[in-house]
Amino acid sequence: MSDMAATVDTADRPLGRISPRQIVVLVVASAVMVAGLVVIAPALADLPDVWSKLTTGHLGWLLFALVLQVASFVGHAILFRAVSIDADGDSSRIGFRASTEITLAGHAATRLFASAGAGGIALTAWALKKSGMEARDVAARMTTFMVLLYSVYMGALLFGGLGLYTGIIPGGGSFALTIVPAIFGGAVIALVASAQLVKPGESRLRRWLAPVGDGVRDARHLLRRGNAGLVGALMWWAFDIACLWACFNAFGHSPAVGVLVLGYFIGMLANTLPLPGGVGGVDGGMIGAFIAFGVDPAGAIVAVLAYRFFAFWLPIAPGAAAFVTLRRTVATWEAEDAGEVARPVRRKRAPAGQHGLCHQYS
């Protein structure tokens, strides 16, 4: 059993209890990050007053950024629904409403519970298990979802880096900013693709790679079937980057598209850092990447701060509300399983020797 499956097996509760200490750490870390970017860093670097620049943003562009961020979350929910749906399209409990609840609640959980998405993963595993899936199916579907979502990320690093370095994509950039991310993206793609060749075994590496290989095969199956919901992976990243683009335009002008995309993805690598709630890593990573690409430092700081408000902070409140409604949705599922609701939910399992996703997904 993979590590993810083991996590699913213990996911009887969504997240546990949010301690006051977690809230205090998140608030303090956020205050330090904002103070560092808005007050301390500009003073040390002899930059213009970032705080005053923040008050000059164009309202129209900022409202457009909000719309783009909403569209990004819609894409995430669409992809999650596509990966969760059964072959006949109506027996799965994970409809678009539940997918949206899980997407928003998972975002809030990630901010409050560890870095690299650990809180969101735990909540998603809990919701899928409560929908009636067995632990192996939950782990398989989550793996397939991650393979589909992050294949766009790694592909952008690979082709964006190569394109900028060779001049095919305008914007330029040093070897370290273009080829190194391209090598990283290509290496991850190769590793994940080669996982298809790994068979289950006793070693820890095999236990990790085997389900990843299953996820790749299931992702390929969904692609061959032409599942329209897979466009959600492109929507999630494209609209999120477009939100950043709108924030740049709200305070001046945006860098070249290639620089915008690669600077965004390089900054996102900081999500893996063990920071409180993930605060500060992505902000600093993006700002540093854009400055290295030659973007005006003050413009990069205000644009990234505005973007992170829309992408990081603003969705926390609706995410908390979505968690409440998700608990109600789960209570309904539990009532159905207990026979308290007349309409039963039919469950299906893959035939022996066939992976659950390939059997169930359309």
pLDDT at 6: 45
Give, for all 362 residues of the chain, the pLDDT tens digit.
444 544 444 445 565 555 555 555 555 555 555 555 555 455 444 555 565 676 788 999 999 999 999 999 999 999 999 998 754 444 468 888 999 999 999 988 877 665 445 678 888 888 988 888 887 788 888 889 999 999 999 999 999 999 999 999 999 899 999 999 999 999 999 999 988 888 777 777 777 777 788 888 888 988 888 889 999 999 999 999 999 999 999 998 999 999 999 999 999 988 776 565 556 678 888 999 999 999 988 889 889 989 998 998 888 889 989 999 999 999 999 888 887 544 444 444 443 334 434 333 33
Question: What is the predicted pLDDT for the residue at 31?
Answer: 56
Q: What is the pLDDT of residue 131?
A: 87
Provide the pLDDT for residue 362: 32
Distance between CA atoms of residues 275 and 260, nearest Å:
24
Residue 271's closest CA among 303, 229, 240, 317? 240
> What is the pLDDT, as a whole number, of residue 272?
72
The structure tokens listed for 219 are 């992702």
Quote the pTM value.
0.81
Nearest in space to 307 (alpha carbons), one of 245, 265, 353, 252: 245
Which residues touch 40 (CB under 8 Å, ≥6 apart)?
Answer: none
pLDDT at 7: 46
